[in-house]
Amino acid sequence: MHRYVQVFENLPVLVIGEAILDRYSVGTARRTCTESAAPIVDVCEEQAAPGGAANTACNLAALGARVCFLTAVGEDAAAGQLRQLLGEAGVQAHLLAVAGRETLVKHRLVADGQILARFDRGSTAALPSEPVQHLLALLEAEWGRCRAVVVSDYRYGILGDPVIAALAGLQQRTSRTLVVDARDLTRYRKVGVSAVKPNYEEALGLLDNVQTAASRLETVTACRGQLLERTGASSVIVSLDREGVVLLERKGPARHIESTSQPGPNGPPYAHTTGAGDTFVAALALALAAGEKAEAAARLAQKAAGVVVARSGTARCSAADLEAELAWSQKQPKASPVTGWSAAQNILCVRLDAMGDVLMSTPALRALRRPDRRLTLLTSSAGGQIARLIPEVDEVIVYDAPWLKATAPRATSRPEYEMAAYLRQRQFDAAAIFTVFSQNPLPSAMLCYLAGIPLRLAHCHENPYQLLTNWILDPEPAQGIRHEVRRQLDLVATIGAYSPDERLSVRAGEKAHRQVQQLLAELGIGDGRPWLVIHPGATAPSRRYAPEGFAAVAERLVAEEGYTVLFTGNREEAGLIEQIRSKMVVPSFSLAGRLDLEELVALIAMAPLLVANNTGPVHIAAATGTPVVDLYALTNPQHTPWEVPHRVLSHDVPCKFCFKSLCPEGHNHCLQLVTPEQVLTAVRELSQYEHRRYFDPHLLPSRCSGGDAHQPDRSEFQRL
């Protein structure tokens, strides 16, 4: 048993604050109601869990502590349910029933892993005098029995001035480890607090005239003195979400503690996870009460919170969970110090795949981006076309690697030696190698090693020894599959690179924008009728919805919904589009072969909605903020639309996630059994979303060359 788990067992802790009952109605949304364009959720499960300070108390109990919890509730069914749940969690709960008060309830409606709505109800007014006196008497009685006190103050009326004054008096008389998690930490400035845990926004709210720096980490670090003074705490630990936390103390420098927890069964983070901050506070209080220094306590708390982030709903971390997390951490390879990366100014980013993979790497590229840095992207011919439209990239080098499936066979290895020599000539400071989990990064690592690039980063399933200076033991697929965007963000986070903006990015220039506007005007688009784009092509046969299905969808969109439909594709897909249109009796437009890639980006950015297979244009839509219906063959789970309104349509089959370009069963049921009616429903649901346009149609950012990507001589490097 780990020493932390032993020390935490039966350690007495007092928790005071607002109790919330978290309820969840969980189901699926496949239909819209006739009264309005709102989804109908078929609820299949009802869940309930203690929330707020009650969740902190449950986390403490789960970690082995002996917990006493003080709060006030109503005289209602929700209070009874809270009492039962707290009792089942092993918490000694003093829930003072106050006449006329309603217990706080937060009810979330969850469909397909996403929170559609949250309904809050309950009393938030200050407590009357009599319950306050009762609460103070309990507080004084329990203070002498505990070693640590946790205050969880949501400003919902429990912790008024009399209670805070009592806390200050008790702490002065008999000092305890006191951890406060409050919306307004200035109220506790003179209480004698050991540690406070604001998030980034709450920390900024404590300050006057904040000058934000290039990163959230730098902003918080620069405000160290003010934060310590405004809170009065010995330690201030500011949460930066996925970037970890920053520890500020009165002596010593600020310390950044990264998030390095193992992924959950489906890859972190869940869309409707709540309560990770409560878990952090619980583990922090226990570690401080056990005698740990603030930095060690914060690192442990970050591990415990990481367990919860990988789960859904209001989750908690048990002693066994923490022990497993600590054991996992000890097995991870120790990466080289990141000081070299902080000094790197000329970075090579390697992404040798196709367009969609390149786009899904853009948040990681943005995390690496700094004003004093130059990013060069080494990518394939297919990736190079979109790469020159990515604002984070300064230069593109096109290289079709022989270890990629799409590269045509060649008789000599000379291009590899020539490329290594060319990269050596460029004198890169570092290389970040982005791969899907099924790709081996070592050929790319060898290329960078031969090029003399001193720092080399990648995920890897085996020890790369000298080929990588910074390698992350790849947890996929054994421990679940992350979204491809999250995978690459997690990679660069290990060398201290973060971005608060995790959207995909792509930009088209003013000329492309004007040309597409002119084309739409010629087609009569923009006269007030709804319109959308359908992109029916895909590289892999297993990812193509049937032409008959697309024809049925398009015909009903025109005939029943009044849409104008534009089909897009390259010249090779013109035959597919004509096959679809030949099965329709209503008009539509084909733009097959009429747009270059930059114009396609501009068109999708202007379009109200895109319907497509799981292919590159889906990720263009995500990068431009265009809602998308994604007809998603269940070949792999990690390429769904990212941070954009979307509907992913597939049919559940036993053989899902086969990772094959051709269906091994020969039927493609995971895609072909999606009905046109399901597609129409998804279009109706997404039509209610306002188009969040990320696309700036007027300027291609100056960081981009705006011209052709660098393409070595054809005699030297094989081109597709």
> Looking at the DSSP assignment, which residues form a beta bridge with residue 238?
246
Active site residue 120: no
Q: How far apart are CA 682 and CA 322, in angstroms?
A: 41
Tokens representing 8 are 């935490």
666 alpha carbon, distance to own chain's centre: 35
403 alpha carbon, distance to own chain's centre: 30
Q: How far apart are CA 610 and CA 621, in angstroms?
A: 7
The number of residues in the chain equals 720
Q: In what order do the strands lie in the sheet with 455-460?
A: 395-398, 374-379, 346-351, 430-433, 455-460, 470-473
Give the start-end residues of each E strand in 388-454.
Answer: 395-398, 430-433
Q: In what order do the strands lie in the sheet with 104-111?
A: 39-52, 19-32, 104-111, 114-121
Cβ(381)–Cβ(351) under 8 Å? no
Place of tokens 């002693």: 319
Tokens representing 361 are 């790497």
Residue 363: asked if its preceding bond is cis (omega within 30°), the reply is no
Report the sign of the C-alpha dihedral through residues 653, 655, 660, 666, in that order: negative
**Nearest 5°: CA angle at 496, between 495 and 498?**
120
Cβ(591)–Cβ(614) under 8 Å? no
Q: What is the rounded (10 degree) CA torsion for 365, 369, 373, 374?
A: 40
From the candidates 22, 278, 321, 357, give the one annotated as an active-site residue. 278
Tokens representing 172 are 């002065």
Parallel/antiparallel/unpaired status of strands 148-153 and 12-17: parallel
| Residues belonging to the active site | 278
